Structure 1
Amino acid sequence: MSYDLLAKHFGLTPERAFFDGVMDRYMAGGLLYSIVSVSNVEQETLVEMYKLTEHMKTQGDRYVSSFVQSKEGRFLVTEKNQDFVVVRNENLPPVADGKIGRKLGKFHFRGRLFEEKVEKISRMGQWKTLWERRLSQLEKAYYSVIENQPADEFEKRFVESYPYYNALSENAIQYLVDTELDEDPKPEDAGTICHERFQNTTWGTESCIHFPFHWVFDHASRDLAEWIREQYHLKNQTFHPGLQEFLREYGSVAPLSPFGWRLLYSRILFPLHYFECIEEYYISQSDGQKKAAEDKLDRYLKNSNHYEAFLSDFYHLSEVPVKKWGIPLVGWL
Structure 2
Amino acid sequence: MKEILLVNYNVHTTEQVIINGREGFRDHDYFYFIISARNKEMIHLEQAALAYYLSEIGYNHTAVPIPTMGKSWFVEKDHHPYLVLRVPAVQEKIVKSPGTLLAEFHNQTATYSYEPQEISSYGQWKELWIKKLTAYEQKIKQDADSMHNKYYRLLVDVFPYIIGISENAIQYLQESESDKRFHQGDQGVFAFRRYKDHLAQPVIWTDELVYDHPTRDLAEYIRYKLMENDFNEEEILTFITDYQENRALSIFSWRLLYARLVYPIHLYDFVEASFKGEDYERYYIELKRLIKKQAQYEKRLARLFEYLNFDYRKYELPVIKWLNP
TM-score for the superposition, normalised by structure 2 = 0.86
Correspondent of 1:136 among 134, 137, 148: 134
Which residue does 1:193 correspond to in 2?
Answer: 190
Distance 1:221 1:21, change over 3 A: same
- Equivalent residue runs for 1:225-264 within 5 Å: 225-233=219-227, 235-264=228-257
Tell me if 1:310 matches 2:303: no
- Equivalent residue runs for 1:137-152 within 5 Å: 137-141=135-139, 143=141, 151-152=148-149
Correspondent of 1:221 among 204, 215, 219: 215
Secondary structure at the aligned position of 2:178 is classed as helix
C-alpha contact 1:203 1:211 (8 A) present in aligned 2: no
Secondary structure at the aligned position of 2:303 is classed as helix
C-alpha contact 1:34 1:86 (8 A) present in aligned 2: yes
Tell me if 1:5 matches 2:8: no
Correspondent of 1:65 among 63, 66, 80: 63
Residue 203 of structure 1: how far off its partner (Å): 5.0
1:265-311 C-alpha deviation (Å, 9 max, x unpaired): 111101122233344444432xxx32222122212332333222111
Tell me if 1:332 matches 2:325: no
Distance 1:283 1:42, change over 3 A: closer
Secondary structure at the aligned position of 2:33 is classed as strand
Letter of the structure 1 residue corresponding to residue 155 of structure 2: F
TM-score for the superposition, normalised by structure 1 = 0.84
Supply the distance in 2 between the matched residues of 1:237 and 1:134 (Cα, whole angstroms).
31
Tell me if 1:106 matches 2:104: yes
Supply the distance in 2 between the matched residues of 1:156 and 1:56 (Cα, whole angstroms).
46
Which residue does 1:167 correspond to in 2?
Answer: 164
Structure 1 residues 149-158 or 255-264, which shifts more? 149-158
Structure 1 residues 256-265 or 153-162, which shifts more? 153-162
- Equivalent residue runs for 1:58-97 within 5 Å: 58-72=56-70, 74=71, 76-80=73-77, 82-94=80-92, 96=94
Letter of the structure 2 residue corresponding to residue 214 of structure 1: E
Supply the distance in 2 between the matched residues of 1:11 and 1:5 (Cα, whole angstroms).
9
Secondary structure at the aligned position of 1:17 is classed as strand
Letter of the structure 1 residue corresponding to residue 268 of structure 2: F
Which residue does 2:28 correspond to in 1?
Answer: 29
Distance 1:178 1:298, change over 3 A: same
Letter of the structure 1 residue corresponding to residue 262 of structure 2: L
Residue 193 of structure 1: how far off its partner (Å): 0.7
Supply the distance in 1 between the matched residues of 2:146 and 2:44 (Cα, whole angstroms).
44
Tell me if 1:290 matches 2:306: no
Supply the distance in 2 between the matched residues of 1:319 and 1:77 (Cα, whole angstroms).
49
Identity of aligned residues (%): 25
C-alpha contact 2:99 2:239 (8 A) present in aligned 1: yes
Which residue does 1:183 correspond to in 2?
Answer: 180
Secondary structure at the aligned position of 2:62 is classed as coil
Aligned-residue Cα RMSD (Å) equals: 2.9
Residue 68 of structure 1: how far off its partner (Å): 3.4
Structure 1 residues 314-323 or 171-180, which shifts more? 314-323
1:4-29 C-alpha deviation (Å, 9 max, x unpaired): 11112222222222332342221111
C-alpha contact 1:102 1:253 (8 A) present in aligned 2: yes
Distance 1:303 1:197, change over 3 A: closer
Supply the distance in 2 between the matched residues of 1:244 and 1:165 (Cα, whole angstroms).
28
Supply the distance in 2 between the matched residues of 1:270 and 1:15 (Cα, whole angstroms).
47
C-alpha contact 2:61 2:90 (8 A) present in aligned 1: yes
Supply the distance in 2 between the matched residues of 1:44 and 1:302 (Cα, whole angstroms).
35
C-alpha contact 1:280 1:293 (8 A) present in aligned 2: no
Structure 1: unaligned runs, 5 residues or longer = none
Tell me if 1:127 matches 2:125: yes
Residue 198 of structure 1: how far off its partner (Å): 1.5
Residue 142 of structure 1: how far off its partner (Å): 5.5
How many residue pairs align between the two structures?
322
